[in-house]
Amino acid sequence: MKACVFDAYGTLFDVAAAARVCAAEPGREAFAASWMALAETWRQKQLSYTWLRAVTDEHVDFWTVTGDALDYSLEAHQLGGDPELRERLMRLYFELEAYPEAADVLQTLKARGLALAILSNGEPKMLRAAADNAGLSPLLDDILTVESVGVYKPHRRVYELATKRFTCAPSEILFISSNGWDVSGAAGFGFHAVWVNRRGEPVDRLPHRPAEILNDLSALPELAARLES
């Protein structure tokens, strides 16, 4: 393995953190009652909008998709009349919390000489801000985004960004994502694809399956060491 390449949202960064942090702020009692449901709707619409835009070849950046998904979610949960709430939730996406084990895992992999990168649907400024906020930026060799190819994952052109960046074959990349559809796409491209199945979900019925399934990122250094031996 030459590199470990990570999806960002849901894999390194907790996508529910924006709504959770917002709900805990003073004066947000009404939002606190529905933040979990809104966060779930927001995420699902965010993903579905990327797929639909990829299929229809109508690309916009992930910041726009995230805003569109939030607008739908706020209306769906009867919260659409609060522009200040919308602004706060969007702003918090630049400050998403990393999962507790993420920094230590990346540090261990880095110390073993593996190159580390993010490969994400995210907009570059969003990703850099989140990585800086979580203290992950010094550990990363690069942040690769779909904006350089103009189509969302799981299109093959996105995964190809990693092989070009590290000048290697797909089989030399350990790819890690919490999204089953992303793992399937990456496996089909030829990556050694690892699914971080934090929610204990069934494997997606898609053409390609994960090579490994983990509960979180903690076991990744051990897995990488085994693959290198």
112 in the same domain as 43: no
106 in the same domain as 147: yes
Q: Judge whether 182 and 7 are in contact, CB under 8 Å.
A: yes
Place 178 in a pLDDT band, splitting at 50, 70 and 90: very high
Place 80 in a pLDDT band, splitting at 50, 70 and 90: confident
Q: How far apart are CA 162 and CA 168, in angstroms?
A: 8
109 in the same domain as 198: yes
Q: How far apart are CA 74 and CA 115, in angstroms?
A: 39
What pLDDT is recorded for position 200?
A: 96
What pLDDT is recorded for position 88?
A: 98
What pLDDT is recorded for position 229?
A: 75
Instruction: Give ∠ CA 185-124-115 in degrees, rounded to 5.
Output: 65
Q: Is 141 marked active-site?
A: no
111 in the same domain as 79: no
What pLDDT is recorded for position 150?
A: 97
Q: Which of 77, 95, 113 is the last residue of a domain?
A: 95
What pLDDT is recorded for position 49?
A: 98
152 in the same domain as 85: no
What pLDDT is recorded for position 53?
A: 97
70 in the same domain as 171: no
Say which CATH number the domain at 188 has. 3.40.50.1000
Say which CATH number the domain at 84 has. 1.10.150.240
> Among 7, 14, 71, 216, which one carries the catalytic annotation?
7
pLDDT at 111 over 80: yes
pLDDT at 168 over 90: yes
Place 81 in a pLDDT band, splitting at 50, 70 and 90: confident
Range of the domain at 7: 3-13+96-228
Count of structural domains, the chain: 2
- The percent of residues in the chain predicted with pLDDT above 90, rounded, is 97
What pLDDT is recorded for position 20?
A: 98
- Placement of tokens 């060491």 in the chain: 225
Q: Which of 45, 73, 95 is the last residue of a domain?
A: 95
pLDDT, mean of residues 42-69? 98
Q: Which of 65, 95, 125 is the last residue of a domain?
A: 95
108 in the same domain as 78: no
Question: Given strand 115-120, what is the order of strands in its sheet?
Answer: 142-145, 115-120, 3-6, 173-177, 192-196, 212-214
For 58, residues 6+ apart whose C-beta sits below 8 A from its C-beta are none
123 in the same domain as 197: yes
pLDDT at 52 over 90: yes
Token pair, residue 212, equals 């490994």
Mean pLDDT for all residues in the chain: 97
What pLDDT is recorded for position 141?
A: 98
Neighbours of 163 (CB within 10 A): 20
Q: Is 67 exposed, middle or buried (0-12, 13-18, 19+ CB in 10 A)?
A: middle
What pLDDT is recorded for position 228?
A: 83
206 in the same domain as 117: yes
pLDDT tens digits for 118-164? 999 999 999 999 999 999 999 999 999 999 999 999 999 999 999 99
222 in the same domain as 157: yes
